[in-house]
Chains A and B, each alone.
Chain A
């Protein structure tokens, strides 16, 4: 049976949903400015020892921004704060004066970060961390490949990861959760490495699947507020099978896998527990903020999406498949074309006569 993977359609969809150059330029300009300001601030200069980019932007799993779904750059600010001497709330609050000075009216606190709006479609998330407790981690966060990154350096990052396993052998960072009033572990560098390896095992399509499902979520007329962001990406990471050869296949099998994997949890009214990657002791549950109702609603939509994907893969023609994918993913996915030039019948036509040069009447030089 022929499956219509439509790789060119997905390539065009991914190109249409990638952050536009202006957004990338704004992200680069603004996160560079924030980091520079942090390092020069009279109060924080002695506190912030390093900054680096993490999150979906760095993992290449972010989509094009809009006012309703702005681009999001996570900046980790590694500090000298001692976890035993400073509470999570104090550590979080330590940045407020800086933000009031440089981003008046444009910032707001979140549970574990500060959200700064720098453009209608771009925001920055400033994530403070505690002082690294090991020398290895202190060295890692100072490493050039960690600190000096912009999204044009994708190859350098992967090459750096290939060269250095230290990043992942280092211990997690502690970030303050002001809502829970506690320090929590996270390992953004491990996650970057994990994502790269997963993507390699998926022949480069894992990142495409993540972006496509995030976009699918955005296109739903009605979807529970959560899971979204990193928890959604984590679910996809656990469900996307290795060895996929196309985005279409990855999308179909991931949706089907999510539908099957969590069917029992939904039936039992539970939210599955998924643990932060790279943290071995007391890892946090990335799903803890999701209610059973929200997860059930999400799961139901995933089941419908899985059916639509499978229909598209099993369609009887490329045009039919394109229409179904377009229905799933919305307008950035190119619709099926209108009927155009008749494609000649496939198969070899034996020559009827010897070849003649083009007929007279054509222009020539």
Chain B
């Protein structure tokens, strides 16, 4: 659509708002220098106040130049708009330069907190009627804000917007396990070990007392444990989440202290951890922790941390003594610790397994299994990647080979890994796929020297992706002390089919495996004769390779995960072979493999 067409649609949609009894004084359509438009309007409150809210409030609607596609945002107007922050609203700070609206955008379009509650549909992106629906949502938001029901009991809990200005991100791992640990800790402040991760992420590795004893140390994976150390920060634990007004985050020390409900106690905790003998000892960051529930009205389920960055005064100013007391007075009077100084909050993320796996996670029973992967090739690398990303925490990878450039067409490793050990590179990569992952690479043939340790620390999941009969035989000769889940995964010619053999026992049932797979391989050979497919990768090499596209290999690896999940969850199943992705005509949809199990 042309810009003129978009504008015409927008103007027509804006006129529809006139039909609302609660929307008035629609302002002229103004063009944004960056593209798009904005206009103002008044919205009327019609419900009695439970929480103070003006009868008429002015709002600015900012519209994308791609209307009815693109963003559609509603902000309080700089003149006549609300100045406090409410739930389901971004931090409502003063207007950015050059704009006539405050920063507190309302969550109207994506969040279903209003609509889903009443079973109504979401505004339609791509349909001009979305402007009218946004107008209705605005009025509903106002009603809910007035009635104090923007957050209702049972709603999913949402943090206030701390409006981060510090470009660091603070990561921590808090869940119900650490919640129990904190419950046993009486300390309200102390110091926290930080590690620097990536470009600007600081990970809280361990919380210590003022005397530097470890109080709570979450379980971290290899990558976080080995990350470089960053300067320590202080921490202060509050009894409740600090909130200003309806639902604003504190923006100054004074607001923060007041929001705790006991400003004097907070000040004394702050002084305890931030006042130092020397400037070299002083910390530049303090983590503020508070309990949060999963649901509104529910009990606290975990601790949440937000970080404040503090520019410590390194120079003693005139009028202040060069002593511990003097430096503290200076910082509190004129430095970053002053009562009205704007707090420099950082973004915060909970990196616990529960929090990160919200978008999709394998069953905990599988995730908790210590696993061994024999074969870090195309199949093994894809399988391992998605098992780890799905939550598998402990993985040992055994493969004697080095990475070749030719591997990369269907491998998860990179050009920078060429020449290095497949097992080591893959383990290193997987350690960085999830913060709780512990992955180790062993560049040896199986059985490796460490197999002797399996007597005391056996794997609970043993995966073979080598398609190598030697490995099958070796697995069958290993006697494990406990029942183990075995998965042998391979692909046939052209990767048209995959073969996922699953079994339970103390050793791999090689005979059963062969009896099941041989007929399938024979069929495979019949369907795809040797002469049709063999290619020679380089001049002078006698041994041919057989092409199998990376996406097909990956698909079998991913399909095998589903088979594995079902097998693990079904304690009654003992062994079986699943044939994955039987080749079908291109016009038909892909089939899942049929399972020939018990």
Contact = CB atoms under 8 A, between A and B. Distances in A.
Bound pair: A and B? yes
A11 B18 contact: no
A272 interface: no
B117 A355 contact: yes
Contact of A340 (B16, B112, B117): B16
A357 B116 contact: yes
Interface stretch (A52-60, A141-149, A345-353): A345-353
A17 interface: no
Nearest to A344: B136
Contacts of B154: 353-354
The SS class assigned to the A binding surface is loop
Interface in B17-62: 17-22, 25-29, 39, 46-47
Given A7-B26, A8-B11, A349-B140, A357 B112 contact: yes
B118 A351 contact: yes
A8 B10 CA distance: 11
Interface in A337-365: 337, 340-341, 343-344, 346-358
Contacts of B19: 317-319, 343
A57 B136 CA distance: 40
B139 A346 contact: yes
B18 A355 contact: no
Nearest to A348: B143
Interface in A7-40: 7-9, 11-12, 14-15
B147 A348 contact: yes
A241 B80 CA distance: 25
B20 A343 contact: yes
Interface residues of A, number: 35
A257 B19 CA distance: 29
B439 to A, nearest CB: 27
Indicate the size class of the contact surface on chain B.
35 or more
B182 interface: no
B46 A358 contact: no
Interface string B152-185: 1111100000000000000000000000000000
Nearest to A341: B129
B39 to A, nearest CB: 8
B114 interface: yes
A354 B11 contact: no
Given A341-B129, A348-B140, A348-B147, A355 B114 contact: yes
Contacts of B46: 346-348
B17 A8 contact: yes
A334 interface: yes
B9 to A, nearest CB: 12
B500 interface: no
B284 interface: no
Given A348-B46, A353-B154, A9 B18 contact: yes
Interface string B571-582: 000000000000
Contact of A355 (B15, B129, B139, B155): B155
The 4 A-B pairs of least Cβ separation, nearest first, read A354-B154, A348-B143, A355-B113, A8-B26
Interface of A: 2, 4-9, 11-12, 14-15, 246, 317-319, 322, 334, 337, 340-341, 343-344, 346-358
Given A346-B46, A352-B119, A355-B156, 19 more contacts: A7-B28, A8-B15, A8-B26, A11-B28, A12-B11, A14-B28, A15-B11, A337-B12, A340-B16, A344-B120, A348-B144, A351-B117, A353-B117, A353-B154, A354-B156, A355-B155, A356-B112, A358-B112, A358-B116
